[in-house]
């Protein structure tokens, strides 16, 4: 069966970018159809920020943009200014949702509001704008004829004929949320260049794997450093630093996760991951000398107490003995008996505890995937494909991967908004060339 949507904008993907694109196209006056593979909209939004949904990042939009890699930030400039972080917050608050900004700039719904409410607000905007939504409607191919979009084919064999198609099918991480890299396959077939995929914002699997009872242990406000292993650098001193990230660290049964691990993962994945190591500075605000002086003072003040008590102030209980083991110091040592050698080793371990070699950075477990449709082939002012007429791209299908902190959703909202606006304008111009 052929569904005629030639006088409409069709959007593939009911995630962050696709919902904004459909909303904006409809508000701009275009009949709009949104096709979503899953049986509900916004599946990935629902799991974002651990279900709390870090919707965007606060601050001047140009500073938000500057947190992306240079070429990505350059590409995002027009869309970020066209639809800012404040504009997105306005969209939420227009439906009664309240948001708050954490000290680190991340913006969340005020509890008990959460990711589910974000999706509900967006659904309400889609309804108000008159967007038609087809759920359980997986697209299997994008049909291009003579360099122009002709329509899409659905899994049930039906075709949707359209000349204005927005592809917002996302990336390939967390495939259970519906994102299985379909958009990339279609875009490659349509003649677009794909930048090779790499994990980003992903956990790190380590060798040796941490003991089972460390799983779930968190270290607050530490500094994680990823380095090339010394041997990969030709031996000698510590290997070259690849990336550092400050924040929380979480142990898992396979390695480490949490903002710090995610923050270094893209650089690790881009280097040879297996020759990278990670180490954690447990007390990043304490320079080596000051920490040494503090430990000396503490030992003087507490000659009879076990030095483990000092370390417990900085580390979760379960990690105290392992740190002593890593330092090669005896955890039973009392303040009065801590030798200068052991003191130095303990301070060294607190400032750079080697956690192991990176065994793997799992692409599918990343919050985003780096790589995708080359930014050179999409016009950043309009999100029009430079390869296929009537085609627009937005969201993670593009080669964009920002840091943790609401940046990736903002990229999806902004690029989606612009894609919707342009597709609607192009459609209406075509229908009414004299207007
Ligand atoms: C665990 C996790 C937590 C995250 N937390 C945050 C956070 O707190 N803040 C933040 O900024 N970012 C976060 N992100 C990243 C953010 O969710 C993504 O960057 C964003 O969702 C990308 O938007 P998108 O619209 O491009 O893709 P998606 O939101 O993934 O949407 C793509 C949609 O396309 C649909 N689709 C795919 N193929 C087809 C097809 N063949 N036919 C029809 N439909 C199809 C999918 O089902 C999906 O609904 C997180 C990601 C994950 C995985």
pLDDT one-digit tens code per residue, 234-274: 555 678 999 999 999 999 999 999 999 999 999 999 987 78
Q: Which atom of ligand 1 sits closest to the CA of residue 137? A: 43
Name the CA dihedral angle for 183, 187, 189, 190, rounded to a multiple of 10 degrees: 140
Domain hosting residue 157, numbered range: 2-197+368-431
- Determine the Cα–Cα distance for residues 310 and 296; give it in Å rounded to an integer: 11
Q: Give ∠ CA 320-264-193 in degrees, rounded to 5.
A: 155
- Determine the Cα–Cα distance for residues 264 and 243; give it in Å rounded to an integer: 5
Residue the block writes with tokens 């111009």: 429
Binning pLDDT at 50, 70 and 90, where does residue 231 land? low
Domain boundary among 317, 344, 360: 360
Q: CATH number of the domain at 112, please.
A: 3.50.50.60
Q: Tell me, yes or no, whether 329 and 396 share the same domain.
A: no
Domain boundary among 339, 360, 381: 360
Beta bridge partners of 369: 199
- If DSSP codes are grouped into helix, strand and coil, which group holds residue 428? helix
Q: Which atom of ligand 1 sits closest to the CA of residue 416? A: 25
Binning pLDDT at 50, 70 and 90, where does residue 433 land? confident
Which protein residue's CA is at the shortest distance from atom 31 of ligand 1? Answer: 15
- Distance (angstroms) between ligand 1 centre and the Cα of 150 equals 26
Q: Tell me, yes or no, whether 234 and 305 share the same domain.
A: yes
Q: Tell me, yes or no, whether 98 and 147 share the same domain.
A: yes
- Distance (angstroms) between ligand 1 centre and the Cα of 295 equals 47
Q: What are the tens digits of pLDDT across the range 369-428?
A: 999 999 999 999 999 999 999 999 999 999 999 999 999 999 999 999 999 999 999 999
Q: Tell me, yes or no, whether 214 and 314 share the same domain.
A: yes
Domain boundary among 360, 387, 413: 360
Q: Tell me, yes or no, whether 287 and 239 share the same domain.
A: yes
Which protein residue's CA is at the shortest distance from atom 52 of ligand 1? Answer: 367
Q: What are the tens digits of pLDDT across the range 10-22?
A: 999 999 999 999 9
- If DSSP codes are grouped into helix, strand and coil, which group holds residue 143? strand
Residue the block writes with tokens 């994008």: 142
- The pocket around ligand 1, CB under 6 angstroms, is made up of 12-18, 35-38, 43-45, 47-49, 53-54, 138-139, 168-170, 173-174, 177-179, 182, 367-368, 395-396, 406-409, 412
Q: Give ∠ CA 216-58-23 in degrees, rounded to 5.
A: 100
Q: Tell me, yes or no, whether 152 and 218 share the same domain.
A: no
Q: Which atom of ligand 1 sits closest to the CA of residue 183? A: 38
**Sign of CA pseudo-dihedral 362, 366, 371, 372:** positive
Q: Tell me, yes or no, whether 14 and 70 share the same domain.
A: yes
- In testing the pocket of ligand 1, which one of 169, 257, 417 has its CB within 8 Å of the most ligand atoms? 169
The percentage of the chain sitting over the pLDDT mark of 90, rounded to a whole number, equals 91
- In testing the pocket of ligand 1, which one of 10, 12, 14, 15 has its CB within 8 Å of the most ligand atoms? 15
- If DSSP codes are grouped into helix, strand and coil, which group holds residue 22? helix
pLDDT at 27: 98
- Distance (angstroms) between ligand 1 centre and the Cα of 8 equals 24
- The strand pair at 255-257 and 241-251 is best described as antiparallel
Q: Tell me, yes or no, whether 163 and 285 share the same domain.
A: no
Which protein residue's CA is at the shortest distance from atom 5 of ligand 1? Answer: 48
- Distance (angstroms) between ligand 1 centre and the Cα of 106 equals 18
Q: Tell me, yes or no, whether 310 and 216 share the same domain.
A: yes
Q: Tell me, yes or no, whether 53 and 192 share the same domain.
A: yes
Which protein residue's CA is at the shortest distance from atom 13 of ligand 1? Answer: 48
Q: How confident is the prediction for the chain on average, in pLDDT?
A: 95
| Cβ-based neighbours of 298, under 8 Å, separated by 6 or more | 310, 335
pLDDT at 123: 98
- Stretch 166-178: mean pLDDT, rounded? 93
- Distance (angstroms) between ligand 1 centre and the Cα of 170 equals 5
Q: Tell me, yes or no, whether 138 and 186 share the same domain.
A: yes
Q: Give ∠ CA 310-316-318 in degrees, rounded to 5.
A: 105
Tokens of 82: 């066209």
- Distance (angstroms) between ligand 1 centre and the Cα of 396 equals 7
Q: Tell me, yes or no, whether 253 and 169 share the same domain.
A: no
pLDDT at 343: 96
- In testing the pocket of ligand 1, which one of 247, 408, 411 has its CB within 8 Å of the most ligand atoms? 408
State yes or no: pLDDT of 98 exceeds 70.
yes
Binning pLDDT at 50, 70 and 90, where does residue 64 land? very high
Q: Count structural domains, the chain.
A: 2
- Determine the Cα–Cα distance for residues 214 and 255; give it in Å rounded to an integer: 10
- Distance (angstroms) between ligand 1 centre and the Cα of 41 equals 10
10 Å Cβ neighbour count for 73?
17
């Amino acid at each position: 069966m052929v569904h005629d949507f030639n006088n409409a904008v069709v959007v593939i993907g009911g995630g962050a970018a696709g919902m904004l694109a459909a909303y904006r196209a409809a508000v701009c006056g275009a009949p709009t159809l949104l096709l979503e593979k899953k049986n509900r909209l916004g599946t990935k939004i629902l799991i974002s920020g651990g279900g709390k949904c870090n919707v965007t990042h606060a601050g001047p939009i140009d500073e938000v943009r500057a947190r992306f890699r240079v070429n990505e930030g350059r590409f995002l400039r027009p869309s970020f200014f066209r639809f800012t972080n404040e504009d997105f917050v306005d969209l939420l608050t227009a439906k009664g949702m309240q948001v708050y900004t954490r000290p680190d700039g991340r913006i969340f719904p005020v509890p008990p509001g959460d990711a589910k409410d974000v999706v509900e607000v967006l659904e309400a905007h889609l309804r108000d704008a008159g967007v038609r939504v087809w759920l359980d409607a997986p697209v299997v191919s994008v049909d291009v004829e003579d360099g122009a979009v002709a329509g899409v084919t659905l899994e049930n064999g039906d075709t949707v004929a359209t000349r204005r198609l927005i592809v917002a099918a996302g990336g390939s991480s967390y495939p259970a949320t519906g994102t299985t890299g379909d958009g990339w396959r279609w875009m490659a077939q349509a003649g677009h260049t794909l930048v090779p995929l790499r994990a980003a914002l992903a956990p790190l699997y380590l060798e040796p794997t941490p003991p089972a009872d460390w799983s779930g242990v968190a270290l607050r406000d530490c500094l994680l450093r990823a380095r090339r292993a010394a041997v990969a650098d030709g031996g000698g001193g510590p290997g070259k630093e690849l990336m550092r990230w400050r924040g929380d660290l979480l142990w898992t049964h396979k390695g480490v996760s949490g903002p710090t691990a995610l923050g270094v993962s893209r650089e690790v994945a881009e280097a040879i991951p297996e020759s990278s190591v990670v180490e954690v500075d447990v007390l990043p605000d304490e320079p080596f000398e000051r920490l040494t002086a503090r430990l000396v003072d503490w030992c003087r003040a507490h000659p009879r107490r076990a030095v483990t008590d000092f370390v417990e102030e900085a580390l979760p209980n379960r990690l105290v003995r392992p740190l002593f083991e890593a330092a090669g110091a005896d955890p039973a040592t009392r303040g009065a008996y801590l030798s200068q050698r052991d003191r130095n080793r303990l301070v060294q371990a607190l400032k750079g505890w080697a956690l192991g070699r990176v065994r793997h950075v799992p692409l599918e477990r990343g919050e985003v995937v780096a790589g995708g449709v080359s930014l050179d082939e999409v016009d950043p002012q309009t999100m029009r494909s430079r390869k296929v007429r009537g085609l627009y791209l937005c969201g993670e299908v593009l080669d964009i991967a920002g840091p943790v902190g609401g940046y990736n959703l903002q990229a999806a909202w902004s690029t989606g908004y612009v894609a919707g606006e342009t597709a609607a304008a192009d459609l209406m111009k075509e229908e009414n060339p004299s207007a």
